[in-house]
Structure 1
Amino acid sequence: MKTFEIGSQDFLLDGQPFRILSGAIHYFRVHPDLWADRIHKARLMGLNTIETYVPWNEHCPHPGTYVDEGQLDLGRFLDLVAAEGMQAIVRPGPFICAEWDNGGLPAWLFSDPSVGVRTSEPGYLAAVDGFFHAVLPAVVGRQVTRGGPVILLQIENEYGAYGKDEAYLQHLVDLVKREGVDVPLFTCDQPFGSMIEDGSLPELHKTGTFGSRAAERLAFLRDHQPTGPLMCAEFWNGWFDNWGTHHHTTDAAASAAELDTLLSAGASVNVYMFHGGTNFGFTNGANDKGIYEPTITSYDYDAPLTEDGYPTDKYFAFREVIAKHFPVPAEVPARRQEAPAGTVTVTSAAALLDSLDLLGEAVRVDGPAPTTEDAGHYRGFTVYTTHLSQAGVLTVAEVRDRAQFFLDGRPVGVLSRELGERAIALPSGGRLEVLVEDQGRVNYGQRIGEFKGLMAPVKLDGVEIVEWAIRPLDFGDLAALREAGSPASGEGGLAGPSVSFADFEAEGPGDRYLRLDGWTKGNVFVNGFNLGRYWSRGPQKTLYVPGPLLRRGTNELAILELHGSTTRAVQFVPGPDLGPDEK
């Protein structure tokens, strides 16, 4: 049986020095039928290890549940890593950040305001215990000490940037050991100030996270940890995008030079990201440092391997650097070929507000405006309904995150958290419906765990509204909505909010890229799978359609459009367009 240890200067695999050359792939951001391809291409770049986070909220979408099938089959992912002859690093959090909804923490956990966030508060620790007890068997049985690929497990994640609770960290250490983890444990933090110490414990191996000034960062790390192997656990070689900004890129040559510095110093590395993948559905996170900024659907990250799994100039630059220090396979992955192009025109549509009974049940609330958590709803869209006797100015304590207002079915305006809007003039009384979009929970900082929806008090001309119906919307099955739709004809566009449908033909599985010029904002579904959000403000112009989603013959396209379109057509285009780069 193999061993993996932390020596005085090196990682030791079976007693021999081992340099970790790792790349981050988040299994939950990649279609499972494409995992093997992405892992193989990591090895072809010269890597010997795959690293992944584990998203608590995805595995446990509701209290008392645990999901480990399909895209969440962590065991299968680790087995594919082993089949490629590579090692694995697992980072189960419980907090992961990762520009992922709520940093991976389940929103239901904080429905009880007494539960702490990333602390040794008993309610929080009890929930963490339950999650780790469910997820760690997939890891424990696949440790290198038991014939598997897992060589390291992380405790928390960049905790020094958030808090300093040694009791909390010690609880996590004791917990994973009790569950059977016997590979070395590590922490990662930014090499600034006191973060390295605040986010770790004496018995844990400390690693750094950075993307530049590698020699300086490694020197800082060595000053704060005189022995043990140096490692950059997140070598940031790109960045993520927010709606309304440019597409972030980094210079391939500059990133490769920093990687060379790392390897020349004898350090181990985890390339973050090697392959970013996609924030499918409603899984994207957000940042809020005074301004709320939701993350886009693509998590391409300007990584060496693109969102759709093809090598970039950065891939080959990194491969060349690695080849200076270690053997690299002779096989080279192919560049992207053009995908099938064509036009698809929607043929039917269902008005959303007329179809609410098909999407969920309303719950009446006598009292202040409830949160979506009060309705047991943790992602996506919610409709609030009340009746107003007069016109007036409606004010909200805060909108989380975007609210469309309708009087007797007619649109009257939008309030956006991003823009700090909290008041809207209503021209008359009548049935008020508010379609609220959770645009992604904050994944970093002190606003983790906050509630969503209309934050009370909601007032009309200063008088609080205390009679509501709240309806969570479930887009998991669109069949009834399609059956209820009406034919969409003519040359013009479609009014929203609505869900429109079309069929298109495919010769079989194969990547596609969907462009929605003329559409405003919403989500797209292919064969019932939620590809994620689109928004005309950009930067992202296309949505990635993973090849395994398509079948030979007829396939279904559905578009949730929140406002309206100038056209009934969408385009499959030859390749992705993630928007203009920063110049």
Structure 2
Amino acid sequence: MENIFEIKDNFYLNGSPMKIISGSIHYFRVVPEYWRDRLEKLKAMGCNVVETYVPWNKHEEYKGHFNFEGILDIKKFIEIAQELGLFVIIRPSHYICAEWEFGGLPAWLLAEDGMRLRTTYEPFLRHLDEYYKELFKILTPLQVNYGGPIIMMQVENEYGYFGNDKRYLQTLNDLMRKHGAVVPFVTSDGTWGEALESGMFNTNEVLPTANFGSKTEEHFEKLRRVIADGPLMCMEFWNGWFTPWGGNISKRDAKETAEELDKILKDGHVNFYMFHGGTNFGFMNGANNYDKLEADITSYDYDAPISECGDITPKYKECKKVIGKYVDIPEVKFSTKIEKKSYGKLVVKEKVTLFNTLETISSAKYSDFTLSMEKLGQNYGYILYRSNVGRGRKAENFRLVGANDRAKIYVNQKEVLTQYGLELGKSVDLTLDKEENNIIDILVENMGRVNFSEKLNWQRKGIDYGVVIDKHAHAGWDHYTLPLNNMDKVNFELGYETGVPAFYKFELDIEELGDTFLRLDGWGKGCVFVNNFNIGRFWEIGPQKTLYIPAPLLKKGKNEFIVFETEGRTGNYIELVGVPDLG
């Protein structure tokens, strides 16, 4: 049935006022088999809308190659929401922030010299236009006007923290309309400083909304000044927060969260950010870089009402009580059976040093000067630079120029130095201990591109300029790209040495499938593949101590686990436990 959704003095569906109580679930952070479960729990808390971002960097990971299948099947996610009687808010902006790698922008944009992100720069807009052409083939028929559940779309995301170009915002508006968007549009920004005014435009047609986690009256008052008679909406009610490696897990009191929710619903509308955070599978975590580089952990639990593994929390229960004051809450039967399993300890079956299997998982690309990941067509993972620096000597004032984010330096396959964040670029002296043909290897990890601030424009990974020895740039480099998307090519028969990066294979026979959590006590840093699926990064500095493995990633019979560890520090085993430990 076709519907009409309108924004006037309030939100209206077919002429009747609509109270929007929404929650954020990112389909791309949840295995598809659990979409229905998470959406059912959203409805059971009293929400009538689900909101999601759309990550350009996953749907078009490589230029011109579009993917809307599996965990990226946004159409199926929206259709499940509609089956459950939920409406949908879509935030299809090319930039999503979301503590997601590069804020959702595709890394291949950085391969183009002169690229200017989030501007009217013509090459950028051309790429976006081509992406929207494909994306809106899916989104357009799913709008309420055509019988679907989508009631609103967001034009940009917190643009007021980045720029104030109204022509750019209007251009995005026009692109979305061009490709078939007919539902009302919104923008969302914080109300601090000039962000709200900078990020809004054409307010007669595009409703500004606000993002905040507390002091509702203050933020709504600022919002009211710019929207006149329009409805007040908190588009991101920050009921939790994200966590960097080396930090502390953020927690927000359940009762205090519910009290703030009550203030929002008293005068306006809400979208929980997040209702269910999910997981930064693979290399998809974002990062911040202000005074120092802080990459986010694999878990995106966010201290949300529904935990990373789908558990109902005390925060859920307290918020449900408040929502019940404003709407009738339906009875919902949860249809997905989910159990947690402890499978015990696994000992390593096979192992091989990265240097020994390097040629089976990558191939050398030569250049006189170092090239960034993006210039080599690589988006994520690691990259290894290798050069023969000649005779034995002390290589004075050795330094990396234009390197991001973490570099491990080896002389003749022995580790001599690790630099991370602000340490990169500092000069050191290296001892070249062979009489001739000393080989330097530099393993650089992309820890996750920043997802916020003007630093988006400077996110090339690897070594973008060069390696300086004494006062000259050293020439002659082999480049080995290591996106680690080919674990079947690792040859475990080629030998193993301690103290350097290596791959470790484990096996587990399973009769009953359940969610489980991988502990890597005693292991240094790296990532883990379960049946060729990258479940994310681990790092001994914490706070996250376990990696979530949803049951759908496992199979009955033999399961294969491959750990890639970069520090040369390994435990005696890995362990699959039934309880998460996020620190």
TM class, shorter-length? over 0.9
Retained in 2: the 8 A contact 1:405–1:434? Answer: yes
Per the alignment, in what secondary structure is the counterpart of residue 324 of structure 1? coil
Cα offsets for 1:4-28 (capped at 9, x unmatched): 3334321111111001111001111
Aligned to 1:312: 313
1:426 aligns with 2:427: no
Question: Corresponding residue for 1:539?
Answer: 543
Counterpart of 1:302? 303
- Structure 1 stretches of 4+ with a deviation exceeding 4 A read 331-338, 418-421
Deviations 1:465-512 (A, max 9, x none): 1211111014223223155356x8xxxx96430011011122243201
User: Superposition pairs for residues 263-412 of structure 1, below 5 Å?
Assistant: 263-265=265-267, 267-331=268-332, 338-366=340-368, 368-389=369-390, 390-393=393-396, 394-412=398-416
Q: Which residue of 2 aligns with 1:473?
A: 482
Alignment correspondent of 1:200: 200
Amino acid at match of 1:567: G
Distance in 2, Cα, partners of 1:509 & 1:93: 37
State the shift of 1:197 in Å.
2.3
CA contact (8 A) 1:369 1:465 kept: no
Instruction: Note the C-alpha offset of 1:338.
Output: 5.0
Deviations, residues 155-184 of structure 1 (Å, cap 9, x unaligned): 010111110111111111111111111100
Structure 1 residue 464 corresponds to structure 2 residue 466: no
Superposition deviation, residue 535 in structure 1 = 0.2
The answer to whether the 8 A contact 2:142-2:150 is kept is yes
- Compare 147-156 and 468-477 and name the one that shifted more: 468-477
Which residue of the partner structure matches residue 446 of structure 1? 454
Partner of 2:567: 563
Q: CA deviation at 1:222?
A: 0.8
Q: 1: distance between equivalents of 2:383 and 2:4?
A: 49
Matches within 5 A, 1:36-51: 36-51=36-51
**Aligned-partner SS, 2:490:** helix
Does the CA-based 8 Å contact 2:340-2:515 persist in structure 1?
A: no
Q: 2:493 aligns with which of 472, 477, 484?
A: 484
Aligned equivalent of 1:143: 143
Q: CA separation in 2, counterparts of 1:318 and 1:510? A: 29
Conserved? CA contact 1:274–1:305, under 8 Å:
yes
Rate the CA distance shift 1:96–1:547 in 2: closer, same or farther, 3 A.
same
Q: Is the 8 A contact 1:9 1:227 kept in 2?
A: yes
Quick check: 1:528 aligned with 2:532?
yes
CA–CA distance in 2 between the matches of 1:9 and 1:150? 20
Whole-Å separation in 2 of the counterparts to 1:347 and 1:399:
35
- The whole-number CA distance in structure 1 between the counterparts of 2:191 and 2:113 is 33
- Could you tell me which amino acid in structure 2 is paired with residue 231 of structure 1? M
Deviates further, 560-569 or 87-96: 560-569
- Please say if 1:518 is aligned against 2:522: yes
After superposing the two structures, state which structure 1 stretch, 84-93 or 445-454, moved more.
445-454
Q: Are the equivalent residues in 1 in contact too, given 2:6–2:12 (CA < 8 A)?
A: yes
Shift of the 516–447 alpha-carbon distance from structure 1 to 2, 3 Å rule, reads same
* Cross-structure match for 1:210: 212
Q: What is the DSSP-based 3-state SS (H/G/I as helix, E as strand, rest coil) of the residue aligned with 1:353?
A: helix
Compared CA separation, residues 523 and 539, structure 1 to 2 (3 A): same
Q: CA deviation at 1:381?
A: 0.5
* 2:443 corresponds to: 435
Tell me, yes or no, if the aligned pair for 2:5 and 2:144 is still in contact at 8 Å.
no
User: Is 457-466 or 249-258 further displaced after alignment?
Assistant: 457-466
In structure 2, C-alpha distance between the alignment counterparts of 1:5 and 1:83, rounded to whole Å: 19
Distance in structure 1 (CA, Å) of the matches to 2:269 and 2:213: 14
Deviation at 1:285, TM superposition (A): 0.7
Q: Which amino acid aligns with 2:248?
A: H
> Is the 8 Å Cα contact of residues 414 and 500 (structure 2) preserved in structure 1?
no
Q: Contact 2:399–2:425 at 8 Å: present in 1 too? A: no
Report the equivalent of 1:86: 86
Equivalent residues of 2:293, 2:422 under 8 A apart: yes
Cα offset for 1:280? 0.6
Partners of 2:570 and 2:358 lie apart in 1 by 24
d(CA) in 2 for partners of 1:221, 1:13: 23
Q: Structure 1: which 5+ residue stretches go unaligned?
A: none
For residues 498 and 519 of structure 2, the distance between their equivalents in structure 1, rounded to whole angstroms, comes to 16
Report Cα offsets for 1:245-279 as digits up to 9, x if no partner: 111111111111000001111x1110000000111
The Cα shift of 1:336 comes to: 8.6
Give TM-score, length-normalised by structure 2. Answer: 0.95
Once residues 545 and 111 of structure 2 are traced to their aligned partners in structure 1, the CA distance between those partners, rounded to angstroms, is 36
- In structure 1, the partner of 2:53 is 53
Distance 1:206 1:33 in 2: 35
Provide the C-alpha distance between the structure 2 equivalents of 1:432 and 1:178, rounded to a whole number of angstroms. 53
- C-alpha distance after superposition, 1:365-420 (max 9, x if no partner): 01x32111121111110010111123313111243011111112111111112545
- What is the distance in 1 between the residues matched to 2:208 and 2:463? 42
Q: Matches of 2:275 and 2:525 in 1, distance apart? A: 30
1:15 corresponds to 2:15: yes
Q: 2: distance between equivalents of 1:282 and 1:53?
A: 18
2:132 matched residue in structure 1: 132
SS in 1 for 2:451: coil
Give unmatched runs, 5+ long, in structure 2.
Answer: none
Distance 1:147 1:571, change over 3 A: same
Give 1:25's aligned amino acid. I
Between the aligned residues of both structures, percent identity stands at 38
Describe the SS at the equivalent of 1:318: helix
Other-structure match for 1:168: 168
